[in-house]
Amino acid sequence: MGILVGAGALSGDELGRVNLLFFILLFAVVPILSLVMSSVLLLTRKSGIASFIMNLPFWPKGLGVHAVQHELIGSKKNWLFLQSQCIVLAFAFGGLVVFFALLLGTDVNFVWRSTLLDAQSLLPALKIIALPWLFWADAQPSLALLELSQNSRIAENGNGYSANWWRFAVAAQITYNLVPRLVMLLIAAWRYRQDLMTNPAGDSTHTVAAARHFSEETPLLLAGIAYTAPNAYELADWANMPDYCVTFITETFGAAKNKTSIDALTAADKLQQHQETASLVVVVKSWEPPLAELKDVLDSLDHKNTYFILPLDWTDSSVVPVKTEHLNEWRRFTATLSNWQVLLPGAHS
């Protein structure tokens, strides 16, 4: 993406001229704003925008399992922060690579135009931007360079441009994009490593076992399986399943009395509202290990009715059979709950 965006921004107009002000916005202002956002999110207790992006439905299933594993060992926030810094650093590196490629293979010329600004009013702002590389005299902006590259559709210097901005452009990318992200990556890696060192379950050789959470040493502790749902049941969607899964459940078990989407923050309140009036069916992603948060929520119910966990697996367009190893894992999890069963569509061999 960095290569594509960099190529698009630096290819210029039909005459090959690159807008200097747009370049500064893209490779200096935006990186600094994103760096400030990353720093703020790093200091908050929430996982931030990376966690929201990870919850979007288009990611491969295996990627979600990694997030679940790190959540179980208490390192999800710093793991997501590390991944986001890797992505942004790759983006910055891609933009720099394509810039050098264009410098070698084409003539990159910069122009600028503005209705409100002239060369003298723009120069102080550019000098402030260039302060970090004050030692590099050839990369410093100057009034003469600004006047030479000012472009206007009407004035006589309408074809003004200059290739001498390339040093300023390289210094801006390195200073405001590449180096800060390298520093943030080192901080993120250190924080993530601290999580793994302070949590005995965080060692990479034990991550999967910790995420699985119920070991294979107790294979006989399996909950019973039901193949039919009660006539009146509430459907609680912990899996954020697509609409065709809801249709499949309705066709298989009958229409639910009510459907509620739940997560770790809202599940307790929403489930308490319905548990008195109907049995409950909680839909989970079969391929994801059971979460401790889910167990806490389900343990909080009063267990007056019969409750079911329905592990589902699906492709882009249809529901598919649950794998045996995933089913057994959910059966072990369900066996630790009082008055809960696993619900499956049809007989399972």
Weakest mean pLDDT among 17-26, 202-211, 294-303, 304-313: 202-211
pLDDT at residue 202, rounded to an integer? 45
pLDDT at residue 52, rounded to an integer? 57
What mean pLDDT do residues 319-331 have? 87
How distant, in Å, are the alpha carbons of 93, 292, 301, 333 from that of 296?
Answer: 44, 6, 9, 12
pLDDT at residue 201, rounded to an integer? 45
What mean pLDDT do residues 14-27 have? 79
pLDDT at residue 50, rounded to an integer? 60
Q: How confident is the model at residue 131 (pLDDT cuts 50, 70, 90)?
A: very high
- Give the mean pLDDT of the chain: 76
* Residue 198 to residue 144: CA distance in whole angstroms: 58
pLDDT at residue 214, rounded to an integer? 40
Summarize pLDDT for 192-210 with one digit per residue, the tens: 888 777 654 444 444 444 4
What mean pLDDT do residues 20-44 have? 80
pLDDT at residue 157, rounded to an integer? 46
What mean pLDDT do residues 299-303 have? 70
pLDDT at residue 217, rounded to an integer? 43
Summarize pLDDT for 117-130 with one digit per residue, the tens: 888 888 998 999 99
Residue 271: name the closest of 281, 33, 252 by CA: 281
Beta-bridged to residue 109, according to DSSP, are 17
Percent of residues, the chain, with pLDDT higher than 70 = 72
In this predicted structure, the answer to whether residue 18 has a pLDDT above a threshold of 60 is yes
Q: How confident is the model at residue 310 (pLDDT cuts 50, 70, 90)?
A: very high
In this predicted structure, the answer to whether residue 273 has a pLDDT above a threshold of 70 is no
In this predicted structure, the answer to whether residue 158 has a pLDDT above a threshold of 60 is no
Q: What is the DSSP letter of 340?
A: E
Q: Contact at 8 Å (CB) between 160 and 149?
A: yes
Residue 71: name the closest of 266, 326, 264 by CA: 264
pLDDT at residue 211, rounded to an integer? 43
- 3-state SS, residue 283: strand
* Residue 275 to residue 259: CA distance in whole angstroms: 13
Domains and CATH numbers, the chain: 2-202 (no CATH), 225-343 (3.40.50)
Q: How confident is the model at residue 283 (pLDDT cuts 50, 70, 90)?
A: very high
In this predicted structure, the answer to whether residue 154 has a pLDDT above a threshold of 60 is no
**Token pair for residue 339?**
């008055």
Beta-bridged to residue 226, according to DSSP, are 343
* Residue 214 to residue 194: CA distance in whole angstroms: 25
In this predicted structure, the answer to whether residue 271 has a pLDDT above a threshold of 80 is no
Position with higher pLDDT, 247 vs 218: 247
Q: What is the DSSP letter of 290?
A: P
pLDDT at residue 345, rounded to an integer? 84
How distant, in Å, are the alpha carbons of 48, 77, 108, 341 from that of 101?
Answer: 35, 36, 10, 61
**Number of Cβ within a 10 Å radius of residue 122:** 19
